[in-house]
C-alpha cells in the first residue's frame, strides 16, 4: 500500500494531501517549511489502523495561498474546512512544530471537532529560547530573513525549500515564502492558562528534552494547563524528536486509548 495524492478546493484554497489506509481519519500536520511528503515514513506505520491524511499547509508544497500571508489561526481554520469538505467525523490530529501550533489553535477555535490532539514540539508562548534559536537561523525581525545565515544553518535543506514550494508560484516564490514564515514564527501567540484549559479534548504534548525551540519547561506549562493533557518527553533529542521511534511509540499508545474503538 502507498499513499495516493489528492487535492480539494476549500473556497479559493486548493489543498493538496496524501492519503493512505482505512479506518478512523487521522490528520498529519507538518512543520514549517516542510510538506506532506515529510510524513512518508510515518504514514505506513499508522495506515494499518487509521485512514491517514497528510496535508500540505497553506502556502507549502502543492497547496496555494491566495492571501499570501500565514497565521496559525488561518491554518487551523483551513484544517476545519478540510474536515468539513471531506465529511470527516472526529479525526485524530497529529501536528509537529508548526503543525503542533496549528493543532493547538484548532483545539481553541474548533472545540469538539477532533477526537484527540497530538502536539509535538509545540509552545504556548514565544519564549526567549525560541527567539534565540530563530535569530541564530537568520530570523530576527518579522518579515525579514538573513538568507546567507539561513543557507549556512540549513545546509542542503535550504535548496530543498526552494524546490518543494515552487509548484504554484514559480521558482522565486521561496523568497516571499520565507518572509511569510519569518512573520509566522516571530509572532507566536501567548496562550493564557484559561485558554489552554478550555481545550477539553484528550491532548498529548510531546517534546524532546533538548528541544532548542521549546524544551521541558514549555512542554510542562502546556500540558499542565490543558483540560485533558498528557505529557511525553523523549530523551536526548532536540527539535527533531519526531524522527525517533520512541516518539511514535508514545503517539500510537496515546491514540489507541483515545480513538473511536475505545468510545
Give per-residue pLDDT as tens, 32-86: 999 999 999 999 999 999 999 999 999 999 999 999 999 999 999 999 999 999 9
Number of H helices, E strands in the chain: 10, 8
Contact 228, 203 (CB under 8 A): yes
d(CA 192, CA 248): 29
Closest CA to 208 of 191, 177, 233, 189: 233
Q: Work out the pLDDT band at 2, boundaries 50, 70, 90.
A: confident
Q: Work out the pLDDT band at 260, boundaries 50, 70, 90.
A: confident
Mean pLDDT of the chain: 96
d(CA 89, CA 48): 19
**Is 262 a residue whose pLDDT tops 80?**
no
Q: What pLDDT does residue 1 have?
A: 54
**Is 263 a residue whose pLDDT tops 60?**
no
Give per-residue pLDDT as tens, 6-30: 999 999 999 999 999 999 999 999 9
How many other C-beta atoms lie within 10 A of the C-beta of residue 121? 27
Q: Within 13 Å of residue 33, how many CA atoms lie on the same side as its CB?
A: 16
How many other C-beta atoms lie within 10 A of the C-beta of residue 238? 17
Give per-residue pLDDT as tens, 162-175: 999 999 999 999 99
Amino acid at each position: 500500500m502507498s499513499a495516493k495524492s489528492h487535492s480539494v478546493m476549500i473556497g479559493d484554497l486548493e489543498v493538496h494531501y496524501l492519503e493512505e489506509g482505512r479506518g478512523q481519519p487521522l490528520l498529519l500536520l507538518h512543520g514549517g517549511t516542510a510538506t506532506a511528503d515529510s510524513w512518508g515514513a510515518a504514514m505506513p506505520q499508522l495506515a494499518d489502523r487509521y485512514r491517514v491524511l497528510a496535508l500540505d499547509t497553506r502556502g507549502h508544497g502543492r497547496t496555494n495561498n491566495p492571501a499570501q500571508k500565514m497565521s496559525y489561526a488561518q491554518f487551523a481554520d483551513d484544517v476545519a474546512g478540510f474536515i468539513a469538505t471531506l465529511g470527516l467525523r472526529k479525526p485524530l490530529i497529529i501536528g509537529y512544530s508548526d503543525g503542533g501550533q496549528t493543532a493547538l489553535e484548532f483545539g481553541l477555535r474548533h472545540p469538539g471537532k477532533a477526537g484527540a490532539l497530538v502536539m509535538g514540539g509545540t509552545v504556548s508562548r514565544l519564549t526567549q529560547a525560541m527567539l534565540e534559536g530563530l535569530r541564530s537561523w537568520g530570523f530576527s525581525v518579522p518579515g525579514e530573513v538573513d538568507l546567507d545565515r539561513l543557507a549556512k544553518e540549513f545546509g542542503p535543506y535550504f535548496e530543498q525549500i526552494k524546490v518543494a514550494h515552487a509548484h504554484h508560484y514559480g521558482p522565486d516564490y521561496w523568497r516571499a515564502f520565507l518572509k511569510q514564515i519569518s512573520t509566522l514564527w516571530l509572532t507566536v501567540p501567548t496562550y493564557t492558562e484559561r485558554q489552554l484549559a478550555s481545550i477539553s479534548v484528550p491532548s498529548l504534548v510531546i517534546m524532546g528534552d533538548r528541544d532548542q525551540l521549546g524544551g521541558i519547561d514549555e512542554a510542562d506549562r502546556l500540558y499542565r494547563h490543558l483540560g485533558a493533557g498528557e505529557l511525553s518527553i523523549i530523551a536526548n533529542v532536540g527539535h527533531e524528536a519526531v524522527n525517533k521511534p520512541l516518539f511514535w511509540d508514545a503517539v500510537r499508545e496515546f491514540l489507541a486509548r483515545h480513538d473511536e474503538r475505545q468510545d
